[in-house]
Chain A
Amino acid sequence: MTTKEALINYCLRIGDTSLILGQRMSEWCSNGPVLEEDIAMTNIALDHIGQARTMLTYAGVLEGKGRTEDDFAYKRNEREFYNSLLSERPNGHFGDTVVRNFLQSAYFYHLYTALSSSKDELIAAHAAKSLKEVTYHLRHSAEWIVRLGDGTDESKNKVQTSINEIWEYTGNLFEMNDVDTLLIKEGIAINQTEIKSKWDKTVDEVLERAKLIRPTDAYMQTGSLKGMHSEYLGHLIAEMQFLPRAYPDAKW
């Protein structure tokens, strides 16, 4: 594997996670608990899709075969996506979404902080720009975790269950393979174990404020680095890709 090949894969991991999470967040449109929150969730969706566009475009540039952001988003199959398992979890209720976003945002926050000094200029620039956005996402979701955790008995139970049920997908965020090994050596990527300890701290702080219990780490689901996902992803991309697939000759 060349550095370039590794970097393309790395871009897809970040870009796909942003894309899938953006797609999930856009499902909330007109379904929010209050109008203001509807607008907030759409902002988050827009940020993520924007981040995805940069990363997928860059993957295409690196590859040099003329593939665009849309070719990557609309013309790959289930086994060619590298997004985190967390990002594809269905929205569930508001608490499920908030928890998923919080855990993913906390990861992005520390990832982008570290990648801001990546030796790859575009990755560094993307990280610096995205860091501002995910800092807000983290703040937004953390405040909701606290409100739900320290709200009513019902909300506390609900959000604790959300955390317990999604926890097995968090380990996947920090998995590494030879892509990482190569890119870490080049100073382009970051060692995920470094992010893990910072992520732990952020998560612990917020859960404590929210009076919620952090589940103990047990079996962690795996697979996304090899393009293996839950069944949910296939449906998500089938819906997303419908038009370009149904009308292959059309331009939109």
Chain B
Amino acid sequence: MSNIKDSQGDVWEVFVQSKPGLPHKHAGSVHATDKEMALQNARDMYTRRNEGTCIWVVPLDAIVSSLPEDSGSFFDPSDDKAYRHPTHYVMPDGAKHI
């Protein structure tokens, strides 16, 4: 993606925390040539409407993603593990606060 002759800079993914205590959530991406520029661009792009208390920027190529063909082996095995969810368990009538 970086074409040194005339480039818009690399792509950075932006994660914004909207309130203290909440997880950072993917907001979108920006182009930038360095860390500080990425941070500032993310601030100017994604927090114009009071949307943030903290920003993370991550170079796109530092993100490792599972692939669509992985999804069967990655995610389907948890389909039949209903015992991981509280609704799996039968509580005696009248039991409270559990």
Contacts and interface: CB of A to CB of B under 8 A. Distances in A.
A143 B8 contact: no
A40 B48 contact: no
A36 B45 contact: yes
A43 interface: yes
Nearest to A41: B44
A35 B44 CA distance: 11
B30 A36 contact: yes
Contacts of A34: 8-9, 31
B36 A36 contact: no
B11 to A, nearest CB: 11
B17 interface: no
Nearest to B9: A34
Contacts of B37: 36, 143, 147
Interface in A12-42: 34-37, 39-40
Interface residues of B, number: 15
Interface size class of A (residues with CB under 8 A): 10 to 19
A35 B41 CA distance: 10
Among B9, B31, B32, B44, chain A packs the most CB atoms within 10 A around the CB of B44
A109 B32 CA distance: 26
B32 to A, nearest CB: 7
Nearest to B41: A36
B40 interface: yes
B44 A39 contact: yes
A34 B43 CA distance: 16
A209 to B, nearest CB: 12
A140 B39 CA distance: 11
A58 to B, nearest CB: 25
Interface string A121-160: 0000000000000001001100100010000000000000
Contacts of A139: 40
Interface string B20-47: 0000000000111110110011011100
Contacts of A136: 43
A34 B40 CA distance: 13
B32 A43 contact: no
A36 B32 contact: yes
B45 A140 contact: no
A143 B31 contact: no
Given A34-B31, A143-B36, A143-B37, A40 B9 contact: no
A40 B31 CA distance: 13
A103 B6 CA distance: 29
Interface string A91-111: 000000000000000000000
Given A136-B43, A143-B40, 12 more contacts: A34-B8, A35-B31, A36-B32, A36-B37, A36-B44, A36-B45, A40-B40, A43-B48, A140-B40, A143-B36, A143-B37, A147-B33
Interface of B: 8-9, 30-34, 36-37, 40-41, 43-45, 48
10 contacts: A34-B8, A34-B31, A36-B31, A36-B44, A39-B41, A39-B44, A40-B44, A136-B43, A147-B34, A147-B37
